[in-house]
Amino acid sequence: MSEIQTIRLLSLFLGVSLLIQTIEFFRIQSDMKGEGVWVWSLLRKELPLNAPWVSRFFDFIFQDRVHFLHLCARLVGVLILLGDGSNLWLMAFLFFSNICLLFRFRGAFNGGSDFLSLVVITGLLLAEICHWISPLIWGYKAGLWYITLHTVSSYFISGWVKLKRREWRDGSALVMFLDGGIYGPLDSESIFRSRLVAIVCSWSFILWEGVAPVMLLSADLALIYCHIAALFHFLVFWFFGLNRFFWAWFASFPALIYCAGRLPI
């Protein structure tokens, strides 16, 4: 794929991811009012809003009506992204919107998916800024490499953190997580309660994540890695209901496949 085709595919996948996230924010509106669990008057106390003008700014944009209008504007922006692809002003707005939502939910609403969504948005924004400064294609390459390096390092760090934890090396962490999943606790006869099966699954995750940088050696390796990653994130969605994770990480795959095999070595 060319740089422009990759950027367009990234925009499409990111648009699907952000559409799901925005619909979720609309659906939890009732939990953000009155006695809800995400009332701004309570959450603001946990954020270091020391500058008076910053506090006033967030107090304004997180008013129920203003926040609703923000989500409506975000929805329109996402639909434009899906239909027409990225552009400088659209990505600047989505970047600003995402930062505001991170503040709204004390840094993250859904953990890793919020982080990677911001990475992909920032990469596309970087690509559009560089392309605006110079029409040469290097700007798009900079944005794609930004997304790739963040994504690969996230997989790599996750794998090696697991390697350092005894509960992942002996398989007990896998059983603990599955016990807390949608279909948990596991049945006493579940295959995942087998120590051998738990260890094999755990070490498969550890090694697969830990060798993530190897995918950059060739596009074929990256394609295989991304297929495995898609299956892994689908299983996370299936067992834990984390649909955001699947689409947030899926949105980064075009960048990984594009950059693989293009290392300056």
In the predicted structure, residue 238 carries a pLDDT above the cut 70: yes
Number of domains composing the chain: 1
Q: Is residue 141 part of a domain?
A: yes
Q: How many other C-beta atoms can be found within 10 angstroms of the C-beta atom of residue 2?
A: 10
Average pLDDT over residues 98-121: 84
Residue 265: pLDDT over 60: no
Q: 265 lies in a domain?
A: no
- Give me the domain span that covers residue 177: 3-259
Q: In whole angstroms, give the CA distance from residue 162 to residue 103.
A: 29
Which tens digit of pLDDT belongs to each residue from 173-196?
988 888 887 777 878 788 888 889
- The answer to whether residue 264 sits within a structural domain is no
Give the model's confidence band at 144: pLDDT under 50 very low, under 70 low, under 90 confident, else very high. very high
Taking only the tens place, the pLDDT of each residue in 36-66 is 667 777 777 777 766 778 778 888 888 888 9
Does 18 fall in a domain?
Answer: yes
Confidence band (pLDDT; 50, 70, 90) for 2?
Answer: confident
The answer to whether residues 265 and 42 touch, using CB atoms and an 8 Å cutoff, is no
Q: How far is CA 166 from CA 171, 201, 243, in A?
A: 8, 14, 28
Residue 98 has a pLDDT of: 92
On whether residue 97 sits in a domain, the answer given is: yes
Q: What pLDDT is stored for residue 168 in this prediction?
A: 92
Query: Which is more confidently placed, 39 or 255?
Result: 255
In-domain check, residue 195: yes
Whether 176 maps to a domain, the answer reads yes
Identify whether 137 is part of a domain.
Answer: yes
Least confident of 48-57, 83-92, 114-123, 238-247: 48-57
